[in-house]
A and B are shown apart, each in its own frame.
Chain A
Amino acid sequence: MLSRLPQGALKNAARNVNASRSAVRARFASTTSGSSSAFQTFLNSRAALASATLATVGSVAWYAHLYGSLPFFPEVHANSPAEEGLHPPQYPWSHKGLLDSFDHASIRRGYQVYREVCAACHSLDRIAWRNLVGVSHTADEVKVMAEEVEYEDGPNDQGEMFQRPGKLSDYMPPPYPNEEAARSSNGGALPPDLSLIVKARHGGPDYIFALLTGYTEPPAGFEIRDGMNYNAYFPGNAISMARVLFDGLVEYEDGTSATTSQMAKDVVTFLNWAAEPEHDERKKAGLKAVILFSALTAISLYVKRYKWSYIKSRKIRKCCLVD
């Protein structure tokens, strides 16, 4: 909107106030007095328009920043805060910023935690071995890892299925053959697939991290069934999954000390990568797009002004009407 103001409009606003008073209009009936107060002319000026817009937008933005929601638009929640679980704190993820890539060393450690801990119950259906290549492992490493797993393939010439070692194109092996097997092994609860879990949970990586590290004794008066565990961050606070991460559970190959929070951070980074494998490229493309389109916008504003300058500065002169 401000771009539509002519060059130096704000600068010249004060001058225009005086100019508009002396400008002559063709007046056909004199019912109003020609003089108006300086305040009235200020109200009609562009400076007033610009500053009022700025004040309005600014106060709405300030309110939204302060209270987290727009004014006059109350949000409706189906759940009470207790049902939603405790809101996780915001953690300083290494990939949190607009321009931050994943920490790939952390993804590699996180894969180790997933493989040694989580994979006992949780599948990772949408990630193939080849996805790890060039992200956290070399192709040779992944080939060796894949070959350790037997996959059913076929049918062969005799029409029978057979077992073969895994290839890069195979997907991560699931811990259970089907949902019923998973439920019966876990007291009726289904361990969710982790491929998209970071995207699928409110709070994303913050929530997963808080959940993994948030196991405590239930507070006094909180009834918890057998086989269930208390976790303040889980909606309803009773979760079937027990605490799995304990200090020193895995031994990192790069010598990082495997504390509970370190493992949780690494595995959440890995799961975040699994949910958004395009993450790094996306942020890089976003950076490019913002730069390119800002430049295009700025130049097109210039070109618009350039094209309009002929129209705006056109004078119509009556010069030749003398008899």
Chain B
Amino acid sequence: MSIANTFYNVFVKRNSVYVTTIFAGAFAFGVGFDLGVTSFWDRWNQGKQWKDIRHKYVEAESD
């Protein structure tokens, strides 16, 4: 039993399962993709964004 057959039997065989998987996958993808892009963006722009320098000024306020 190859991976392809397992995939077919688990997800595709019943259309209801297939469509549900697609929509659940779309939801998971939306969240995951957002997280992934954001983490890449934050790494790429490290030290430049407001959230990277915010702590300096918030601490200064509470002093």
Contact = CB atoms under 8 A, between A and B. Distances in A.
Q: Say whether A associates with B.
A: yes
Interface of A: 94, 99-105, 108, 134-138, 140-141, 254, 280, 284, 287-288, 291-292
A116 B63 CA distance: 25
A191 B12 CA distance: 67
Nearest to A292: B33
B44 interface: yes
B41 A102 contact: no
Given A99-B41, A287-B41, A292-B33, A280 B61 contact: no
A298 B21 CA distance: 21
Interface in B27-63: 33-34, 37-38, 40-41, 44-45, 48-50, 52-54, 56-58, 61
Contacts of A105: 48, 53
Contact of B50 (A136, A254, A288): A136
A321 to B, nearest CB: 40
Nearest to B48: A103
14 contacts: A94-B48, A100-B44, A101-B49, A104-B49, A104-B52, A136-B50, A138-B54, A140-B61, A141-B57, A141-B61, A284-B37, A284-B38, A287-B37, A292-B33
A134 B50 contact: yes
Interface residues of B, number: 18
A137 B34 CA distance: 26
A252 B8 CA distance: 64
A146 to B, nearest CB: 16
Contacts of B45: 99-101
B48 A288 contact: no
Given A104-B49, A280-B49, A291-B37, A138 B61 contact: yes
Contacts of A134: 50
B37 A135 contact: no
B44 A99 contact: yes
Nearest to B29: A292
Contacts of B48: 94, 100-105
Interface centre among B34, B40, B44, B50 (most CB of A within 10 A): B50
